[in-house]
Amino acid sequence: ERYLAKVKALLHQELSAENGDVAPLLQASNGCSKNGAYGSDEDSERTGPDGEEDSAMEMEEAAASSSSSSSVPTLRARKARRSRSNGESKKSPASSRVTRSSGRQPTILSIFSKGSNKRKSEEVNGEVKQEVMNVEKEEEELEEKEQDEKRIKIETKEGLEIKDEITQVKTTTPAKTTPPKCVDCRQYLDDPDLKFFQGDPDDALEEPEMLTDERLSLFDANEDGFESYEDLPQHKVTSFSVYDKRGHLCPFDTGLIERNIELYFSGAVKPIYDDNPCLDGGVRAKKLGPINAWWITGFDGGEKALIGFTTAFADYILMEPSEEYAPIFALMQEKIYMSKIVVEFLQNNCDVSYEDLLNKIETTVPPAGLNFNRFTEDSLLRHAQFVVEQVESYDEAGDSDEPPVLITPCMRDLIKLAGVTLGKRRAVRRQAIRHPTKIDKDKGPTKATTTKLVYLIFDTFFSEQIEKDEKEDDKENAMKRRRCGVCEVCQQPECGKCKACQNMVKFGGSGRSKQACLQRRCPNLAVREADEDEEVDDNIPEMPSPKKMLQGRKKKQNKSRISWVGEPIKSDGKKDYYQRVCIDSETLEVGDCVSVSPDDPTKPLYLARVTAMWEDSSGQMFHAHWFCPGSDTVLGATSDPLELFLVDECEDMQLSYIHGKVKVIYKAPSENWSMEGGLDMEIKMVEDDGRTYFYQMWYDQEYARFESPPKTQPTEDNKYKFCMSCTRLDEVRHKEIPKVAEPLEEGDGKMFYAMATKNGVQYRVGDGVYLLPEAFSFSMKPASPAKRPKKEAVDEELHPEHYRKYSEYIKGSNLDAPDPYRVGRIKEIFCNIRSNGKPNEADIKLRICKFYRPENTHKSMKASYHADINLLYWSDEETTVDFRAVQGRCMVVYGEDLTESIQDYSAGGLDRFYFLEAYNAKTKSFEDPPNHARNSGNKGKGKGKGKGKGKGKSSVSCEQSEQEPAELKLPKLRTLDVFSGCGGLSEGFHQAGVSETLWAIEMWEPAAQAFRLNNPGTTVFTEDCNVLLKLVMSGEKTNSLGQKLPQKGDVEMLCGGPPCQGFSGMNRFNSRTYSKFKNSLVVSFLSYCDYYRPRFFLLENVRNFVSFKRSMVLKLTLRCLVRMGYQCTFGVLQVG
């Protein structure tokens, strides 16, 4: 009874306590707080080590649950909401206590409830007391064990070592997890400083609607303010906040905009003339953007640096940030204002030192409203990268005649002190940030695997995308990387006027200076060039100015310099030909190569081969067969400076113009050329001593073709004056001269012939020919296209948009496209007979039958839209044309006479036409063609008016002309198709019958599967082409899947179209890293060509490939192929 009375008194005391006293008891009892969250271990350890207070509290808790009805649902609710966190141990003390209490308390409650309702004897009470005491002892033992566990956990977290004999429980430290980041702004989501945009007011407008608000209009209806409708409007924005798509406030100078992360901003937009940063008079706008660019301006001496945003609709100048965005914006202010100070100081002080710049910065008072009081050297060095990038950007935006600010001495010192990286504005920042959710399987684009030859040529252009060999970083390559080779300055030729050019060997100098043209200083490396120029100038002694030679004037020099050696080897009329000549103690022979002084001293020396020397009334002369330097070809500045090209140009020159003797070596392809691919060959063909050059190709200047040199050998009769250029030009002129052959008979003052030739092509009676559009006209004149009415005088102030309705330009219009060739059939070939009785073979005439195209009929142009492009109409109209109007030969047949389908006939060859009907222009009707048009054997009589003498010959000649040359059955080329896709390019070669695709490389699995279905016999590699090339170059025979790799000598033709994303004009982001790696696949493709050395090579790409980066990729591609020894050219095809 005393025990029960003591328990009742204790319970009564606790139940009557205030709520503030009950909460700590409950918290110590089960580890729960009022909100249902469990307390820490420290809170649970406030009980004594013996566990008595815990036992008493559990009994009090049980009594409270039975006596107080209001506390029961609260306690259950707390237990129901409880969930174990990831870092919580499975055997935490709180959980053990809850489990233990739920298991022991029903026995106490049942005994307590029975004792309170009934009177028990002393024996029963004693048993109850004994049972309660046993329970208390068990809980004391468990509490001691729990306290030890808790103590071990606490000391483990603090890094202490516990030496306790009782402790036998081992604990493990939970693994550290990386805090989550926002996928857009890259800020930590658990960062307490992360702020969210609070939202726009209800009256905020969208950007297009805001821009049309009358409060922002600068002009009224009666004013004319816009000079150009292409300019973006400019406004100011105040109380602005910048945030990402998820609403996180974020800075805009950390490279997010450069990485194409969409950032937006909100605020009050004000007119450009309003300088008040308050909200009055502003238009509240929401979610302006995304921001395309941010920029700094105001380098005109003003107090503040103006920061602006550019969106797709307008430019905005920032005024004051919002209260929530002010802390973020303040962090960017220091470096922005510092860049303004530096640029303005260097504008007017080009030769200042670093100390002068530092003094200017430290004495400048920051504008009011910033969080710092003064600028220091530490802040300058801390923000040096940003400041230098702004100076670079400032130089790029300047005029071409302005000296760059970046090369001033103080900026160069700053770059050295701070270790600034030049030429990588924002690119380094973009590459340093990696997407955290990137799948491990996708490791991104691989660097291009290249052969050494391709690597040395393309290294300056794709330096970041080509896999480099550390061993190749020798001095030669380091010097090569000094010039970027891409910018406009690097691509222009030497001026020939500056001191550096005049010292070059190519301009007649000594070549000792080794300085580049002063007009070709690469701006991307101007700082390094400026530093090196200072060092070089200190070591080069002053040289006297070179004497001006008289090569600019056609003045004969002293006869004593030039003297013939030996007797003339041939006398031809008034010319005496010699084999040798001595010029300034230097002997020249016929066949030697010389440098020739040009008329313009600013041009480099011309190089030529001496093919003949003679003396006549004009003096001592020689015949020069010119060489073309690589810089004068399509290669431009990308060519090898020592490589020359043969051209069909020659000239007679005076010997006094010869500057000196040079050595030009012909580099013929080796006999084992196809197996030398991929070897570590030197890029230099000859040593650069200023007088040694080489050539391996002939260059066609009209079509930009590189071909093997023609093999024309001299004869014994013309060996003393043989000129390869003259011989070839004579052959071309001879072929261009029209000639007639196989005369038939004479009649009516004319001489008829069966055949005429022009440009090596034979034209016979009955052949179809192409003629110039102006060669003849048609009886039916098609309706001229409707012309737009002329512009009428309109009041532009009253109708300012009137000009848009009457624009003469129509995108995609074919009105200015040239007309196609006329098509006719030769009926007669004749020449008029002169008064002396001989035919005038210089004036050849043709009598032809006209063919109508569908657009030449009365149906006009619309008829051609639904007709076959090879369809013609026969007509009985005839006309006489000049043979010079003939442009080529074609085949015209009657469709019903074909033994195959019209489609197969048209696809069987070029220049094939057919007709099914005849057209009568008088009646504007279509009729059946006459029999003589349908009969292929009766193509007309040899001459007109029914005279039959020429009939037999004409028929024979017609039959001969009708016979097509037999098709040559050549073995198909073993082809490798790289970047094959589903096989479109290979299919074209298959249809042409020239190749058999045995291997294909396509990384995209769906396209590779389609290629396998289209070409079952082809081995398709579904791997990265760079990986495959590396395997082949390392000597592997198979890939990882066991597929056999093609080896050297296996591939006879290589074709492919490297990805065009980087070159396409439709790609706005073709200068970013992804597109650069795509572009570098051109280098990989050329490396395939260099390694396998196939007989034929074809590279296909988009039109913009020709003009991309000032045609640099095209030029370097041709440079690679020429260096390999390929005859090559390029063309822009009409494929639409």
The catalytic residues are 1060
Using the CB atoms, write b or e for 318-338: b if 16+ within 10 Å: bbbbbeebeebbeebbbbbbb
- Among residues 677, 694, 704, 634, the alpha carbon closest in space to that of 1095 is found at 677
**Amino acid making up residue 1123:** R
Find out whether 758 and 888 touch, Cβ atoms under 8 Å: no
Place of tokens 């409950």: 26
- Among residues 569, 648, 644, the alpha carbon closest in space to that of 613 is found at 569
Number of Cβ atoms within 10 Å of the Cβ of 931: 8
Find out whether 254 and 430 touch, Cβ atoms under 8 Å: no
Which residues, at least 6 apart from 100, have a Cβ–Cβ distance to it below 8 Å?
139, 142
- Looking at 449-518, which runs of residues are DSSP E strands? none
Half-sphere exposure of 797 (CA within 13 A, CB side): 6
Helix (H) or strand (E) holding 804: helix 802-805
Sign of CA dihedral 770, 771, 777, 782: positive
- The three-state DSSP-derived secondary structure of 1090-1122 is HHHCCCEEEECCCHHHCCCCCCHHHHHHHHHHH
Residue 651 phi, psi (nearest 5):
-165, 150
Query: Could you tell me the CA-to-CA distances from 747 to 739, 764, 839, 1069 in Å, in that order?
Result: 20, 19, 11, 73
Number of Cβ atoms within 10 Å of the Cβ of 215: 12
CA trace torsion 566, 572, 575, 577 (10° rounding): -30
Helix (H) or strand (E) holding 306: strand 306-310
Helix (H, G, I), strand (E, B) or coil at 375: coil
Helix (H) or strand (E) holding 955: helix 951-962
Residue 159 phi, psi (nearest 5):
75, 25
Helix (H) or strand (E) holding 72: helix 71-81
- Among residues 975, 1046, 1048, 971, the alpha carbon closest in space to that of 1015 is found at 975
Helix (H) or strand (E) holding 76: helix 71-81
SS3 content of the chain, % helix, strand, coil (to 5): 35, 20, 45
Half-sphere exposure of 620 (CA within 13 A, CB side): 22
- Looking at 144-184, which runs of residues are DSSP E strands? none
Q: In what order do the strands lie in the sheet with 293-297?
A: 283-288, 263-270, 234-244, 315-318, 306-310, 293-297
- Among residues 458, 633, 628, 528, the alpha carbon closest in space to that of 1109 is found at 458
Whole-number Å distance between alpha carbons of 267 and 279:
9
Helix (H, G, I), strand (E, B) or coil at 1019: strand
- Among residues 313, 187, 185, the alpha carbon closest in space to that of 257 is found at 185
Length of the chain: 1136
Which residues, at least 6 apart from 899, have a Cβ–Cβ distance to it below 8 Å?
none
Number of Cβ atoms within 10 Å of the Cβ of 940: 19
Number of Cβ atoms within 10 Å of the Cβ of 779: 13
Residue 397 phi, psi (nearest 5):
-80, -10
Find out whether 918 and 744 touch, Cβ atoms under 8 Å: no
